[in-house]
Chains A and B, each alone.
Chain A
Amino acid sequence: MRSWFEWVGAMESSVGLRESLNAYPIMLTSHVIGMCMFAGLIMMMDVRLAGLGNRSSAITQVQARLFPWQMVGFAISIVTGLLLLWSDPMRFYSNFYFWLKNLLLVAAGVNMWIFHATTYQTVDQWDNDPSPPFGAKLAGVLSIAFWSAVIVVGRMIAYQDLVPQWWRDLGLRG
């Protein structure tokens, strides 16, 4: 794993991005814009699922009509996120919050997948209900929790000294 990160970090494209004065502000600012679009619209969908908001719209409508815009936000976030990783892999390799963020991304994805494979199959029966069944509410609340945690931990990447002692004891050097 470490050698893979070192390999990327030594590449000309990585060094170029790392040493550019403008690349980092542009990548990070675009990452935030992508996050606003993606997480914002995901949360608007989640509050509908949880029965907390946007209750005038049918659930399938919220799901289908916001989806393309969520994907635009997701694409911006993923591309700029991968570029940030590419620009300085060793910084992220040794960062506790970077790995925790990846774990939470997987958790958010699994939650989405389980919901679509189970509760969402019967959506026709409760599409217009202001208060959807328990399974949908649970998926909505979990999604809000997981994506919020992704945002929290993503911001914490900047605070690489505020990490648990056991992580420091691992002695990963960036």
Chain B
Amino acid sequence: MSLQPFFLWMQEHAFSAYILNETWFSPIVQVMHLIALAVFAGAILVVDLRLLGVGLTRVPLSKVAEDAMPWMVWGLVALLITGWPSVMSTAMKQYYSPFFWWKMELLVLGLIFAFTVRRRMARMDEATLGPVWPKAAGMFSIAVWTGVAVGARLIGLLS
């Protein structure tokens, strides 16, 4: 099944026309997307660094993860809300951009990992986890989210 009709529908939607017509709509949404990104990245990184055995090591991993969770979730919600208008108003550009699909695939992978493996790992006893798995998880998480950010930036630059 091709998603092209859906992207075409988004592109031709009245909301897309409204966004493209309002001079300040896109810039405002984009700057809010970046602030949400900083919050989200910080919440992700603070736990990933802890998984790597650096950063906030004086507090149990489960505590660091618990503290970071609301910032991660609300950062993500803000990213989705502010990312949506950009996808709608430039839907056909996104559809034909390899970087958009690169970003979306890594995004799904990153979210699944964050809410399954990483989350469960953060709740486990650090002694039973051993030294290797948390480090592998931290590095994998950083790699995937870096990939999302790189793909995202390249949509605008190289598409």
A residues 96-153 near B (Cβ < 8 Å) are: 147-148, 151-152
- Pair A156/B58 contact, Cβ less than 8 Å: no
**Which of A7-15, A62-70, A87-95, A164-172 lines the interface with chain B?**
A62-70
**1/0 contact trace for A69-85 toward B, CB 8 Å?**
10000000000000000
Dominant secondary structure at the A interface = helix
Nearest CB on A from B25, distance (A) = 11
The answer for the CA separation of A44 and B68 in the assembled complex, in Å, is 8
- Closest A residue to B35 by beta carbon equals A148
Q: Number of residue pairs across A and B with beta carbons under 8 Å?
A: 112
Contact with A along B19-59 (1 / 0, CB 8 A): 00001100100110011011111111110010000111111
Q: In chain A between 8 and 44, which residues have their CB closer than 8 angstroms to a CB of chain B?
A: 24-25, 28-29, 32-33, 35-37, 39-44
If over half of B's interface residues share one DSSP class (helix, strand or loop), that class is named, otherwise mixed; here it is helix
Do B34 and A155 touch (CB < 8 A)?
A: yes
Contact check, A54 vs B27: say whether CB atoms are below 8 A apart: no
- A151 to chain B: which residues have CB within 8 Å? 31, 34-35, 38
B64 A28 Cβ-Cβ under 8 A: no
Interfacial chain B residues near A148, Cβ < 8 Å:
35, 38
Given contacts A43-B38, A56-B64, A57-B67, contact A33 B149 (CB under 8 A): yes
Quick check: B54 and A36 within 8 Å, CB to CB? no
Closest A residue, CB atoms, query B69: A53
Task: Report whether A44 and B153 are in contact in the complex, using a CB–CB cutoff of 8 Å.
Answer: no
With an 8 A cutoff between CB atoms, is B3 at the interface?
no
**Distance, CA A65 to CA B59, complexed state (A):** 12
B109 at interface by CB-CB < 8 Å: no
Which residue from A29, A69, A147, A162 sits with its C-beta under 8 Å from B150? A29
CB pair B157–A62 under 8 Å, yes or no, is no
Known: A53-B70, A55-B67, A65-B56. 8 other contacts (CB 8 A): A36-B38, A36-B42, A36-B45, A39-B42, A40-B44, A61-B59, A66-B55, A155-B31
**Those 5 A-B pairs whose CB atoms lie nearest each other, nearest first:** A40-B42, A40-B41, A36-B41, A39-B38, A56-B63
A-B contact pairs, 6 of them (CB 8 A): A25-B154, A33-B150, A56-B66, A56-B67, A57-B59, A66-B56
- Report A's interface with B, CB cutoff 8 A: 24-25, 28-29, 32-33, 35-37, 39-44, 47, 53-58, 61-62, 65-66, 69, 147-148, 151-152, 155-156, 159, 162
